[in-house]
Chain A
């Protein structure tokens, strides 16, 4: 049995920053467990930047940042948490800059900032167009410097707790095979988002399967605001990989199957340059009402052909490269097939404003957590900030807790359960094909819990999810070897998605209003009287999900209409 004082699950921005702050502030035994090598984590794909009010941001203030964040969240964010996050902005930026993150600089040598959607001041710090990449690499370097213990390529299976405090974990050692029991006083979950539930159309990496969130559900612990998923309007139709907003900024047209520039019916003035959520909803409406393009009518066309080869090459080289590479379409000659793509999970593991869960010693940080600082809709540039602020806060909280906590005695029964579970997967019937079911789940989620939602469709969708959950019991792991069994990992990841899907569906059905990313056709207005509250989902011992509600913390900013 492995023994640590603190185990951090996940090696992305939140996990590594937590590891670093834990390593520098304690002599406790800390380990980072991650299913991929840390620098592969999806923090590395964050391009835009990180929001913070710096000492030289004249005219800006943490209060203004907090207000923008709360307004962006459609007033569902907890304002005490938002306050903490915005006030810590400068501290985390300077800290990572001092550690070597090559932030882009102004001519006077100070950190440069640029304007971003939903922000009232230019407060987004950036490092070219690879901010997340540089942050991730720098944090990894600093972890190596501090001799952080890594359990690379280990897959989280179960969280062990006694209803009051955390006792340990079980995990699969991918490289050598085998289930391990890990004894630890504190656990920080930093396992990232779960937008891979929308398997066929997401901007997320292959492994953003909400492993920590699913483990929390299996452990009978609460998840929060799961109905909120942010969709980006233009993802490539086949893969969901992003097509930058710049393609529309440069003058690209959106057309339906009749060749009509349909945005004139949704935003006659702004047309293709209307705000993201409006464009995403417009595209989805065209698809839903049968005006989508292609054999299945499941995408619209982003037409750049009139821009000419020269301009496309100059201004949108990456868009062209990706369209050719991933869609087999050259935008110089043909329009690009696009559709809204699942981008970010606002919901996740229920934590308080310091990243603590209801179980002592169990913390969550980053996209897997729902503090909530993003409420119903996240602002661009706030996710990297969330990742760092909560990575650091949970590290300090975990250190404080583990310092005083008594020794734990995790029972080996979970180990036996997980071993049996994996054996059963290898001996299953194989009547159902996992890749096929995974694709089906993605289709169901996009169709019934996509950009637009409606009671009857969602109920139908939930039935289908339950049906897939049943059929998933017939899924088989064909590879019976121990070493680097990626077949097993893919199936476990899929089962995590199956765990998460109904937890999105249930609150989506019950939230009978439209707020932030949750847009309901049957309830198009925000309803503060009845729904200014967080949804909380818990899985009971019978395997059924139950839904309850929790108040939103409002301190400074009373809810108002969200207008831009």
Chain B
């Protein structure tokens, strides 16, 4: 029988001073869970790991194989053998949680964190009947809004892989935001609960996510926490929660791109973090390096048309409200002051001599192409 070596993480805090790896030879057969059960039944009954359903629904047996997060019952030994060319496989517990013993980690903390985001339905009595024998009507289409999120089985794979959890202890974890978002888009959930969830999500690190997308790749059930986090951020801004740096950054991006076609790195530190000296320091630094510095970018040709298209895209994604026109007007004024004319005149004047036959795509390319300046 073909075999492969597993180097399994062992640690019993009662007995061991430090974790160590123990080697076991197992058949290349069935799943990684079968291999672990083989060890327990035939080689070493003291090995501790969690497992229950054997068929990918209970979420007990997530762990790391050569650094990659896997659900043991869903991972064929043959596949591991071939991927790693028969080399020993290092089996380790998930990250970011305290090891209780061997491959068993403490999942109480992520559950407690999740709990702070109200991951349950708070029924709106106008939608959900209080009469227990009265059915609440839900149309199949509206259930599509949370069709992915409801698959989360609390395996904590995403929590283990998450960069933000690594950086920020308070960060609630990708799955927790997905669990919360599931109710944000449920018509039956009451508005006051939705507002609270946003408030708690923000204090739980909503803006700390770096959008590395790892959660999305490790989820064995196709949940997409990174996307849900983006959508929660959108909801936060729309609900007026704009005082966090993350929200301010988003506001800067949306407003400046609308106003000028690009973001403004000189103003970013001030608008996001309130750092007033940054503009001056940056200007000096850039100048000393011989980099051309524009206080505001030169409005490009077709800017007005671009604004229309941009607004249309924002409206289609229901994000038009994130655009703050009073801020845009301030930027317009800044541009007018620098170029000594109102914005429409500049756009016309700057480009009046250029050819007028270019297509829309060509014009858009022009707009985006120069945005690094």
Contacts and interface: CB of A to CB of B under 8 A. Distances in A.
Interface of A: 36-37, 39-42, 44-45, 54-56, 90-91, 94-95, 97-100, 102, 104-111, 130, 133-134, 137-138, 141-142, 144-145, 152, 175, 205-207, 238-239, 241, 322, 324-326, 328, 434-435, 477-479, 481-487, 490
Contacts of B59: 39-40
A328 B31 CA distance: 10
A490 B45 CA distance: 9
* Range class of the B interface residue count: 35 or more
Interface stretch (B128-136, B163-171, B240-248): B128-136
Nearest to B137: A109
A340 B50 CA distance: 27
Contacts of B101: 481, 483-484
A94 B153 contact: no
Contacts of A133: 57, 153
B260 interface: no
Contacts of A142: 120-121
Contacts of A326: 30-31, 34
B14 interface: yes
Interface of B: 12-15, 29-31, 34, 40-42, 45-55, 57-60, 74, 76, 78, 100-102, 104, 107-108, 115, 118-123, 128-129, 132-140, 143, 146, 150-154, 183, 186, 188
Given A45-B58, A102-B146, A481-B14, A91 B132 contact: yes
Contacts of A325: 30-31, 74, 76
A37 B107 contact: yes
A97 B136 contact: yes
B48 A206 contact: no
Contacts of B135: 54-56, 94, 97, 110-111
Contacts of A102: 143, 146, 150
Given A95-B132, A105-B143, A144 B57 contact: no
Contacts of A138: 121
A510 B336 CA distance: 98
A435 B119 contact: no
A229 B52 CA distance: 21
Given A40-B52, A40-B59, A42-B53, 20 more contacts: A44-B57, A45-B55, A94-B136, A95-B132, A99-B121, A107-B139, A109-B137, A137-B152, A144-B115, A144-B120, A145-B118, A241-B55, A325-B31, A326-B34, A328-B30, A328-B78, A435-B42, A479-B46, A481-B15, A484-B102
A490 B51 CA distance: 12
Contacts of A477: 45
B91 to A, nearest CB: 15
A40 B53 contact: yes
B133 A94 contact: yes
A207 B52 contact: yes
A13 to B, nearest CB: 13
7 contacts: A42-B53, A111-B135, A145-B120, A175-B100, A326-B34, A484-B100, A484-B102
Contact of B104 (A130, A484, A487): A484
B60 A40 contact: yes
B54 to A, nearest CB: 6
A499 to B, nearest CB: 21
Contact of B132 (A40, A98, A106, A328): A98
A478 B46 contact: yes
A436 B8 CA distance: 24
B43 to A, nearest CB: 11
B58 A324 contact: no
Contacts of B34: 326
Contacts of B153: 39, 44, 133, 137
A486 B40 contact: yes
B61 to A, nearest CB: 10
Given A99-B121, A486-B40, A328 B29 contact: yes
A44 B54 CA distance: 12
Contact of B45 (A106, A137, A141, A487): A487
